[in-house]
Structure 1
Amino acid sequence: MTKQLITIMCAVALIVSACVADLEPVSLPVVDYTSELRGMLSFDSTARRLLSGVYKRNEGTTRFGDRIAVAYDGQVVTMYTVRGVAFFTLRGGIANDSVKLVGVWRGVQGSETGIARLSIRPSEGGREIAEGKGNGLGLILRGEITTSSGSRESYVIEKVDATNLRQLDFEIIAHRGGGRNSERLGVSENSIPMVLLAGRLGATAVEVDIQRTRDGEPIIFHDPTFTARTVPSPYVIGDVDNYTLRQLKAVARLVNGETIPTLDEMLDVIIDSTELRLVWLDVKAPSVMDAILTSHARAVERARQRGRDVDILIGIPDDATFSAVRNSRLFGSLEIDPKTGTLPILCELGVDRVRDVNARVWAPRFTAGLQSTLVAEMKKEKRRCFVWTVDDQNFISDFVSNGEFDGILTNYPTLLAAMFYTSPKGR
């Protein structure tokens, strides 16, 4: 029996190690930005606005399709494509009425990656950007794309829509802080580095999951148990709430080496170091609701002091969490939004429950369909409506083109950003 048990354990270990090996991150190329952009003036907010918009492919490689969305996250210019589900993170500058952009690209649903070097000639929009004039319509980005296989492909795209993407109020909500471990982004799901990356992936908002430690601390973690998928350590296994926060900080590391953040740590980073507009707190440990609401109040005040307009919503996914919110001694201290008269709550249950807790957002599952009548009712009551979790391109297209939801939760914010911004609704 002992020999059989050892054999089984070895087999399981081999399977687990193989699964973990499959999740090794995709390495992005290294770009020497200092050398590439030497002597160039950095973009200001006007230049980034002029660059933002919807582009069409004029010439060159077809790997990214015929429509491209260009936006920005802080100082970084970003691009999103439907074909290849690719995101670009580019840095750039201006010199002699010409514009240069250089950076990396990555196909999120595969392992393809490479470097992009693009420029705008003075006569093709460079002078307009240098002078900060116009709307950028007709500017032409041209250059070269390299791939991980070593190929070099020409690429020419032209701006056909001047919409300022930042002014749209549709929320692109990234699941698990930006993406799952299976996307091999080099940072772990529900980690601080992941939420710092989320904006570059196309997200305007993030959903993060809350579990609890043995000593009652809310932490950001999805699963109720530790496994090799999330924490590949022989010292950390089993139920999350078997461990104190001190123990987890000492020995638990996520698959890409990060520590597991507390709720306070995560909210501080989102407020201080990102431009994300909304946070969906998916509560998976309702027993620590008082602690969650305490952290929420602290974060709201921190955002107010820093002049940050970020909506932090308490998620209600089930009846147990609904009861925990309603019965919390801190429920009455949640602030009512003066514009909508609602509380900072996102409820996934029926619309009667939404009204019962005066939730700001109703968030049904995507399998229920467009639900146009109920969505209209909620909007009439000044509530927003999100839908979850939508990853399939056909379903995303249906919800974007035919639905009236105010946001979509997805594991692929890059795909959703590309599809929404290049759709008629996104413009």
Structure 2
Amino acid sequence: MHARVVATLAALALATAALVSPTSDARAGEVGKPRVIAHRGASAYAPENTLASIDKAAKLGFTWVENDVQRTKDGELVVIHDDSLQRTTNVEDVFPGRAPWKVKDFTGAEIARLDAGGWFSPAYAGTRVPTLKEYMRRVEHNHESLLLEIKNPQLYPGIEQQTLKLLGNEGWLDRRHLGRLVVQSFSADSVRTVHELKPALTTAFLGAPSEAQLPQYARFCDLVNPSYGSLSAGYVAAVHTVDGPHGRPLRVFAWTVNDAATARKVAGYGVDGIITNKPDVVRAALGSG
């Protein structure tokens, strides 16, 4: 009986620690196995950065998805990767005289008219560019977690504050959600701003700072997320020796890995997460969930 009581108390302690840790659920899904993050949703199987793409990730059984946030001419936050609408919508047909079709030059209402799925497959014709508010509500509905990238922050002054305000309004900055959210950027200044505005939030820098620079980055980011081609086991080990702003070792999510051989290779480096357009392929390669 005593042994059972001790075991129960230990399990409760672990659960409590996971609840209060702002980075707990962003860790690897299983000991020794990287977490698998669906890049722009399950973007090999549905149009990237759309609600259909994160629905597909959920259907495949993946908890973590990644997205990109930018801002329209009239201040609406929308989920799209490129700073131009050209590649992933029919903007050339709808607004033929407005090249180069930059996101920042169109209103939210204009972008809402565009087809963001027909380029991918006729089956997705009529899919729309989601607003960040719509996107967050679908992530919540799907019980998913989010790696949110602030894209091109130099084009959108104040986007960090605006994004955090929206996340707060949607309930994503409370303790229950902080373990399901990471905000990242290729801009160190943007990541630093997010950390300063909301220190409890988990943040990530997209890139591979030199080993000598890691302590500097560790002041404001919890993860260093490089391209898989820039990684080595030695670099990952070096990252893990440095503690981030929440007193835990920095972690590494590698992108964008889409085949089994590369997934196994990168996992062998000791990364904590793998970002992929084909999460099912990576899961099968690693034998993980």
Q: Which amino acid aligns with 2:162?
A: T
Query: CA, structure 1 residues 240+303, in 2 after alignment: closer, same or farther (shift >3 Å)?
Result: closer
**Structural mapping, 1:67-82, within 5 Å:** none
Q: Which amino acid aligns with 1:242?
A: D
* Of 256, 260, 281, the match for 1:389: 256
2:261–2:285 contact (8 Å) kept in structure 1: no
1:336–1:344 contact (8 Å) kept in structure 2: no
Q: Which residue number in structure 2 is paired with residue 264 of structure 1?
A: 133
1:217–1:291 contact (8 Å) kept in structure 2: no
Cα distance between partner residues in 2 of 1:266 and 1:307: 18
Where relative contact order (Cα < 8 A, 6+ residues apart) is larger, the structure is 2
* Of 277, 280, 289, the match for 2:148: 280
Cα distance between partner residues in 2 of 1:284 and 1:363: 17
Deviation for aligned residue 1:416 = 0.5
Q: Which amino acid aligns with 1:399?
A: V
Q: Which amino acid aligns with 1:254?
A: A
Bigger fraction of residues in strand: 1
Q: Which amino acid aligns with 2:104?
A: D
Bigger fraction of residues in helix: 2
Say whether 1:207 aligns with 2:77.
no
Deviation for aligned residue 1:411 = 1.2
Cα distance between partner residues in 1 of 2:102 and 2:178: 36
Please, which runs of 5 or more residues in structure 2 have no aligned partner? 1-27, 118-123, 244-248
**Structural mapping, 1:118-157, within 5 Å:** none
Deviation for aligned residue 1:362 = 0.5
Query: CA, structure 1 residues 259+315, in 2 after alignment: closer, same or farther (shift >3 Å)?
Result: same
Say whether 1:253 aligns with 2:144.
no
Deviation for aligned residue 1:395 = 1.2
SS at match of 1:260: coil
Q: Which residue number in structure 2 is paired with residue 406 of structure 1?
A: 272
Q: Which amino acid aligns with 1:406?
A: D
1:205–1:276 contact (8 Å) kept in structure 2: yes
Cα distance between partner residues in 1 of 2:168 and 2:238: 28
2:81–2:151 contact (8 Å) kept in structure 1: no
**Per-residue deviation, residues 328-361 of structure 1 (Å, max 9, x unmatched):** 5x65221236xxxxx5233324152673352111
Cα distance between partner residues in 1 of 2:251 and 2:136: 22
1:314–1:345 contact (8 Å) kept in structure 2: yes
Deviation for aligned residue 1:385 = 0.7
Q: Which amino acid aligns with 1:391?
A: N
1:354–1:362 contact (8 Å) kept in structure 2: no
Q: Which residue number in structure 2 is paired with residue 224 of structure 1?
A: 83
Q: Which residue number in structure 1 is paired with residue 14 of structure 2?
A: none
Cα distance between partner residues in 2 of 1:294 and 1:226: 21
SS at match of 1:418: helix
1:215–1:244 contact (8 Å) kept in structure 2: yes
Aligned residues with identical type, % of pairs:
21
Query: CA, structure 1 residues 391+278, in 2 after alignment: closer, same or farther (shift >3 Å)?
Result: same
Deviates more, 1:213-222 or 1:230-239: 230-239
1:209–1:284 contact (8 Å) kept in structure 2: no
Deviation for aligned residue 1:308 = 4.1
Cα distance between partner residues in 1 of 2:142 and 2:30: 17
Q: Which residue number in structure 2 is paired with residue 99 of structure 1?
A: none
Q: Which residue number in structure 1 is paired with residue 222 of structure 2?
A: 360
Q: Which amino acid aligns with 2:260?
A: Q
* Of 204, 207, 213, the match for 1:345: 204
**Per-residue deviation, residues 90-111 of structure 1 (Å, max 9, x unmatched):** xxxxxxxxxxxxxxxxxxxxxx
Cα distance between partner residues in 2 of 1:189 and 1:231: 11
